[in-house]
Amino acid sequence: METDTITAISTPIGEGAISIVRLSGPEAIPMAAAIFQGKDITEAASHTMHYGKIVDPATNEVAEEVMVSIMRGPKTFTREDIVEINCHGGLVSVNRVLEIALSQGARLAEPGEFTKRAFLNGRIDLSQAEAVMDLIRAKTDKAMSVALKQMDGRLSGLIQRLRQDLLETVAHVEVNIDYPEYDDVEEMSHDMMRKKTKEVHQEIEELLQVAKQGKILREGLATAIIGRPNVGKSSLMNALVQENKAIVTEIPGTTRDIIEEYVNVRGVPLRLVDTAGIRETEDIVEKIGVERSRQVLKESDLILFVLNYNEELTAEDKKLFEAIEGLDFIVIMNKTDLEQKLSLEEVKELAGENAVISTSLIEDEGIDDLEAAIAKTFFAGEIDTGDLTYVSNVRHIQLLKQAKQALEDAMEAIELDMPLDIVQIDVTRTWEFLGEIIGDTASDSLIDQLFSQFCLGK
């Protein structure tokens, strides 16, 4: 358990109305009192705010006009005493307050250390701690809703229940192995073990079935915009982002690099990538952009393939259809305000089961149809963040897959009529994998690594 007092700036650095310097630890209140000119905050009631000034003890000069919040443990985020010094926003003022706090013996907090203390002090488990950062990074209201539910312990509660079921099953086996002479101890039969492992296996499978959607909500759908030069790829990106982020000109090959932007499409966060047109070129700079575009294509979850409604399908277009075969893509026939020369029948044949949308980006037409097609492709048109428990974290998904595999190993051993003490090895492994999700069986190095990814002051 940590015993020192830490401090950090807990608001984004830059100009603003308010900045906050936070202290947490056993000496947080005395340290703040030593630099605060106003009410004696050592006697202040918990969860109260007080007006005063921060004074530099070294020079006795007033450094800032502040409001100080006092929160006494254990009813705080870290379960320690916490002081939050609200000062004027700005680089100089907030850093001056931080320097004075550090001069009193507080230690500069490491990234994520406030949340880490909340975890170590039993305030939250590891999955809830990770949800804190998911909430901060949420790109849409749906992603925020999923993070809030995880912070509230929805996933934690489910994982704890599954672990308890497995623990009780293993305990029955242990009793039968260690005390076979007791006839009144219920014998753990293969049928009972089979029933319990199947139940837990089914619940893990259900979690993994919506894991792809949860991961999309958390990280965004990696979406590449492809097509021949000058078909309207950059215009499409601008229409979705509703800002002029990409350079749009009449000159083919203008986009020579990859531009990324997050877009909220009906609750789905798209990590939108506008790529250089994929074509043969002798221009060395454009050639690099084309190669990077090909790599992006391989790593994309969704591809928006733009065609020119005013031109017949070219050999280059057909090569792009071949390149994206087997991937999730939506065909966009752009420039419908011009004369039709593109064969709709030929496009639909090449697209197969994938959606084909018509747009006129210059006339701002077809974007609603495109957004509906994107939502339908990955969420059947609707995103349910109500009753579903989403698993969105890659670490959690991997551990659930390992837990599922361990259970399948146990089920296979049961079908082979192997001794139950052998079967319980795999059941115990499942229990440990699930424990890593909430931090019960996570190593110190893993915990340190996870919290190091947090921002300072959180």
Same domain, 44 and 138: no
Q: What is the pLDDT of residue 90?
A: 84
Q: What is the pLDDT of residue 289?
A: 47
457 within a domain of the structure (yes/no) = no
Same domain, 147 and 71: no
Domain of 368, in residue numbers: 225-379
Same domain, 353 and 410: no
Same domain, 52 and 137: no
122 within a domain of the structure (yes/no) = no
DSSP conformation letters of 277-319 = P-S----HHHHHHHHHHHHHHHH-SEEEEEEETTSPPPHHHHH
CATH number at residue 338: 3.40.50.300
pLDDT lower than 50: segments of the chain: 1, 183-186, 244-258, 277-281, 285-289, 381
51 within a domain of the structure (yes/no) = yes
Q: What is the pLDDT of residue 151?
A: 80
CATH number at residue 428: 1.20.120.430
Tell me how far apart the alpha carbons of residues 249 and 255 are, in angstroms, rounded to a whole number.
9
* Region label for 457, one of left (φ > 0), alpha (ψ between -120 and 50) or beta (otherwise): left
Q: What is the pLDDT of residue 256?
A: 39
Tally of domains in the chain:
3
Closest C-alpha among 44, 60, 54, 46 to residue 20: 54
Same domain, 82 and 45: yes
114 within a domain of the structure (yes/no) = no
Same domain, 338 and 292: yes
Instruction: Provide the 3-class DSSP secondary structure of residue 11.
Output: coil
Same domain, 269 and 371: yes
Q: What is the pLDDT of residue 250?
A: 40
220 within a domain of the structure (yes/no) = no
- H-type helices in 210-257, by residue range? 211-219, 233-241
Boundary-marking domain end, from 327, 351, 379 = 379
Let me know if 369 is exposed, middle or buried by CB neighbors in 10 A (0-12, 13-18, 19+). Answer: middle
Boundary-marking domain end, from 109, 140, 163 = 109
Q: What is the pLDDT of residue 253?
A: 40
Tell me how far apart the alpha carbons of residues 77 and 328 are, in angstroms, rounded to a whole number.
43
281 within a domain of the structure (yes/no) = yes
CATH number at residue 64: 3.30.1360.120
Same domain, 266 and 372: yes
Q: What is the pLDDT of residue 297?
A: 73
